[in-house]
Amino acid sequence: MTLRTTTLGAIALAAIVLLAFVPRLANPYYLALAISLLQYTVLATAWGMFSGPTRYVSLATTAFFGVGAYTVAVLGEVLPWPVVLVVAASLGAILAAVVGLSTLRLSGVYFVIFTFGLAELVRQLVVWFEVNKSRVLGRYVFVNVTQSDIYWQLLILAIAVFLIGWLVARSRLGFALRIIGEDETVATHCGINTTIAKVALFTISATIMTIVGAIMAPRWTYIEPSIAFNAMISFQVLIMALLGGAHRLWGPILGAVPLVILFELLSARFPNTFTIILGCIFLLIVYLLPRGVAGLLESGKARWGETFKPRAVA
């Protein structure tokens, strides 16, 4: 192990230990803010895990998030909490595998279109099922989970996401995905089964999003399809991942942290024009920072290195 990895590991460990004590120290407002920070960090990182290397833009975050939240609403009082989480995760994985298998064989645009409508489709199906079969629309969530519990669960999930992302990036799968992102035809000619690789990673990323939805569900005491499948979540996650830079594992967190805080300030101050501001921020990112903060840092580092080198030689 090199010195650099050891230092990074030590810093990460210290950060985790510090973060674990937040619920003990912070007041309820800051705890709530910390929860949304973690929530969007996990969602954006999971989004970047698939969409970063493959460059397939997924607009379906809220579909998976909603499936997780709604599973808790239905099963939360029936089954013990860990079982509920497992059920939610498997439902999300199945949905992702089905969607992935049917659309990821095709060109990227079809995938985008399909994911764009997926949340609406799932929402309509849930509404239809609730109205016609179970005859309840809107459910109460009474689960014995406190804010601190939510925070710790999200923290564990965040650690898991970074570990998974790190492992995937060093595995054959991660390598295959980077080739697919560069050129899909070349990837096929190298003997990579592109469909399997894409579906596998899409499923991993979607399962994480589903678990986030399930963990977050107890925060609302009342859930109905329009709350669980809120299109805003997909949009915000996309902005955060793009601002941070989805091509690096540590990129999305650089976008999630500033934007969650900014949205928190904006939505309190300008509730009516919030959507417009959000759209403008998004356009600014697309035009001015196509590779995100991570890309900016990298090119800055490269430039710094270039100006530094000749001096060292001379």
By CB under 8 A, name the binding residues for another protein.
55, 57, 59, 102-103, 106-110, 112-114, 116-117, 120-121, 124-125, 127-128, 131-132, 231, 235, 238, 242, 272-280, 282-283, 286-287, 290
114/151 with CB nearer another protein: 114
150/285 with CB nearer another protein: 285
86/120 with CB nearer another protein: 120
Pairwise CA distance, residues 130 & 229, whole Å: 15
CB of 281 vs another protein, minimal distance in Å? 8
Buried b / exposed e along 147-176 (16+ C-beta atoms within 10 A): eeebbbbbbebbeebbebbeebbeeebbeb
User: How far from each other are the two terminal CA atoms of the chain, in whole angstroms?
Assistant: 33
CB of 98 vs another protein, minimal distance in Å? 10
7/226 with CB nearer another protein: 226
CB of 101 vs another protein, minimal distance in Å? 10
Pairwise CA distance, residues 149 & 259, whole Å: 24
CB of 299 vs another protein, minimal distance in Å? 16
**Which residue's structure tokens are 């999300």?**
92
Among 45, 228, 66, residue whose Cα is nearest residue 154? 45
CB of 272 vs another protein, minimal distance in Å? 5
Output Rg (C-alpha) for the chain, integer angstroms. 20
Secondary structure letter of residue 138 according to DSSP: S
